[in-house]
C-alpha cells in the first residue's frame, strides 16, 4: 500500500513544485534548471559510479566483503535515474543520494532491517576472506584415461553429412 501511495504522491509533489517554481521565476528558467540538473547529475553519477566500481574491484581483489560498494553503486544508479527524471523533488533526492555520508546512513538503516543468516567468502572456514588460497593448497586425487582424438563416423553417411 505504501508503494502505491509513493507512486501517487511523487508526481503530485512534482506538479506542485513545477507550478510554484514556474510562478516565481517563469517557464524558461524553470525548464533550464530541469535540463541543467539532468546534465550535472549525469556527470556526477558517471564520476562517482566509476569511483565505486574501482572500490568494488579493490574489495574483490582483497577478498573483502563487497556489500558496501555494491549497495553504494546501486544507490548511485538509482540517483542517476532520479536525476534524469524531470522534477525538483526527484532531483533533490537524487543529489542527496550522491552524498557519500547520506548513502552510508541509508546503508546502515537498511542493514539494520535486513537479517543475513550466514555469509562466507573465499578461503575455508567462513573467515570472511581473511585467507587467500595458494596454488598448492588443495590436492585433487583423480584418475584419467586418454581419449583417441580421431573422429570416427558412427552412422552411414547421408546426403546431408560428409565424412
Q: What is the pTM of this model?
A: 0.65
pLDDT score recorded for residue 127: 46
At 15-28, the pLDDT tens digits run 999 999 999 999 99
Query: Does position 30 have pLDDT exceeding 70, yes or no?
Result: yes
When mean pLDDT is compared across 8-22, 37-51, 86-100, 137-151, the lowest value belongs to 137-151
pLDDT score recorded for residue 119: 62
Query: Does position 128 have pLDDT exceeding 50, yes or no?
Result: no
Cα dihedral angle (73, 78, 80, 84), rounded to 10 degrees? 170
Left if phi > 0, otherwise alpha if psi is -120 to 50, otherwise beta: which for 52?
alpha
At 75-96, the pLDDT tens digits run 999 999 999 888 899 999 999 9
Question: At CB < 8 A and 24+ separation, what contacts does 66-70 make?
Answer: 68/107
Query: Does position 105 have pLDDT exceeding 90, yes or no?
Result: yes
> What is the average pLDDT score of the chain?
83
- The domain ranges of the chain are 9-113
Report which of 74, 59, 138, 129 is spatially closest to residue 106, judged by C-alpha positions: 74
Query: Does position 131 have pLDDT exceeding 60, yes or no?
Result: no
Query: Does position 149 have pLDDT exceeding 80, yes or no?
Result: no
Amino acid at each position: 500500500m505504501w508503494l502505491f501511495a509513493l507512486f501517487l504522491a511523487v508526481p503530485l509533489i512534482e506538479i506542485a513544485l513545477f507550478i510554484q517554481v514556474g510562478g516565481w521565476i517563469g517557464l524558461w528558467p524553470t525548464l533550464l534548471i530541469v535540463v541543467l540538473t539532468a546534465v550535472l547529475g549525469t556527470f556526477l553519477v558517471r564520476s562517482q559510479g566509476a569511483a565505486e566500481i574501482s572500490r568494488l574491484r579493490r574489495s574483490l581483489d582483497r577478498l573483502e566483503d563487497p556489500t558496501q560498494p555494491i549497495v553504494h553503486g546501486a544507490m548511485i544508479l538509482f540517483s542517476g535515474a532520479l536525476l534524469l527524471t524531470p522534477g525538483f523533488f526527484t532531483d533533490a533526492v537524487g543529489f542527496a543520494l550522491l552524498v557519500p555520508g547520506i548513502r552510508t546512513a541509508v546503508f546502515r538503516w537498511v542493514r539494520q532491517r535486513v537479517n543475513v543468516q550466514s555469509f562466507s567468502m573465499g578461503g575455508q572456514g567462513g573467515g570472511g576472506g581473511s585467507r587467500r588460497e595458494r596454488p598448492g593448497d588443495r590436492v585433487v586425487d583423480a584418475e584419467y584415461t586418454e581419449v583417441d582424438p580421431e573422429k570416427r563416423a558412427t552412422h552411414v553417411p547421408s546426403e546431408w553429412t560428409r565424412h
